[in-house]
Amino acid sequence: MSFTPEKLKYLQERFGGANEQLIYDEHFQSVANTVIDSSGTRDAPYAGIPTLLDAPAERIAWGAPDFGDLQVALIGVPMDLGITNRNGTRFGPRALRTIERIGPYNHVLKAVPTRDLKVADIGDVPFRSRFHLEQCHQDIEETYKKITAAGVIPLSAGGDHSMTLPILKAVAKDGPIALIHIDAHCDTSGPFDGSRFHHGGPFRQAVLEGLVDPTKTIQIGIRGSAEYLWEFSYESGMTVVHAEEVTGLGVPAIVQRALELVGDTPVYVSFDIDSIDPAFAPGTGTPEVGGLTVREAQELLRGLAGINIVGGDVVEVSPAYDATTNTAHVGAQILFEILSLISVRLNGHFANK
Ligand code: MN
Ligand code: MN
Which ligand lies nearest the alpha carbon of 270?
1
How far is ligand 1, taken at its centre, from the CA of residue 183, in Å? 6
Do 187 and 88 belong together in one domain? Answer: yes
How far is ligand 1, taken at its centre, from the CA of residue 291, in Å? 13
Do 159 and 290 belong together in one domain? Answer: yes
Predicted confidence band at 353 (pLDDT cuts at 50, 70, 90)?
very low
Task: Quote the pLDDT of residue 348.
Answer: 83
Residue 204 maps to a domain: yes
Which ligand lies nearest the alpha carbon of 313?
1
CA distance 213 to 259: 15
How far is ligand 1, taken at its centre, from the CA of residue 187, in Å? 6
How far is ligand 1, taken at its centre, from the CA of residue 210, in Å? 19
Which ligand lies nearest the alpha carbon of 203?
1
169's CB contacts (< 8 A; 6+ apart) are 141, 144, 145, 209, 211
How far is ligand 1, taken at its centre, from the CA of residue 8, in Å? 55
Predicted confidence band at 1 (pLDDT cuts at 50, 70, 90)?
confident
How far is ligand 2, taken at its centre, from the CA of residue 201, in Å? 10
Which ligand lies nearest the alpha carbon of 274?
2
Beta bridge partners of 312: 155, 269
* Counted domains in the chain: 2
Residue 319 maps to a domain: yes
Do 178 and 33 belong together in one domain? Answer: no
Domain span at 11: 1-42
How far is ligand 1, taken at its centre, from the CA of residue 62, in Å? 28
Is the predicted pLDDT of residue 350 greater than 60, yes or no? no
Residue 160 maps to a domain: yes
Q: How many degrees, rounded to 5, is the angle at CA 130 between CA 201 and CA 327?
A: 60
Do 28 and 76 belong together in one domain? Answer: no
How far is ligand 1, taken at its centre, from the CA of residue 82, in Å? 11
How far is ligand 2, taken at its centre, from the CA of residue 340, in Å? 23
CA-nearest of 21, 17, 50 to 33 is 21
Do 209 and 87 belong together in one domain? Answer: yes
Predicted confidence band at 152 (pLDDT cuts at 50, 70, 90)?
very high
pLDDT tens digits for range 286-345:
999 999 999 999 999 999 999 999 999 999 999 999 999 999 999 999 999 999 999 999
Do 160 and 37 belong together in one domain? Answer: no
pLDDT tens digits for range 188-240:
999 999 999 999 999 999 999 999 999 999 999 999 999 999 999 999 999 99
Do 32 and 152 belong together in one domain? Answer: no
211's CB contacts (< 8 A; 6+ apart) are 165, 168, 169, 172, 176, 177
Residue 251 maps to a domain: yes
Residue 16 maps to a domain: yes
Do 18 and 61 belong together in one domain? Answer: no
Residue 173 maps to a domain: yes
CA distance 290 to 272: 15
Residue 24 maps to a domain: yes
pLDDT tens digits for range 119-141:
999 999 999 999 999 999 999 99
Q: What share of the chain is helix, strand, coil (3-state, %, to 5)?
A: 40, 15, 45
Which ligand lies nearest the alpha carbon of 200?
1
> Do 78 and 159 contact (CB within 8 A), yes or no?
yes
> Mean pLDDT in the chain?
96
Task: Quote the pLDDT of residue 244.
Answer: 98
How far is ligand 2, taken at its centre, from the CA of residue 94, in Å? 20
CATH number at 158 reads 3.40.800.10
Do 135 and 82 belong together in one domain? Answer: yes
Running DSSP on this structure, what letter comes out for residue 330? H
Do 24 and 83 belong together in one domain? Answer: no
Residue 47 maps to a domain: no
Do 2 and 63 belong together in one domain? Answer: no
Name the 3-class secondary structure at 239.
Answer: strand
Q: Classify residue 145 by burial, with Cβ atoms within 10 Å: 0-12, 13-18, 19+.
A: middle
pLDDT tens digits for range 234-289:
999 999 999 999 999 999 999 999 999 999 999 999 999 999 999 999 999 999 99
Do 32 and 61 belong together in one domain? Answer: no
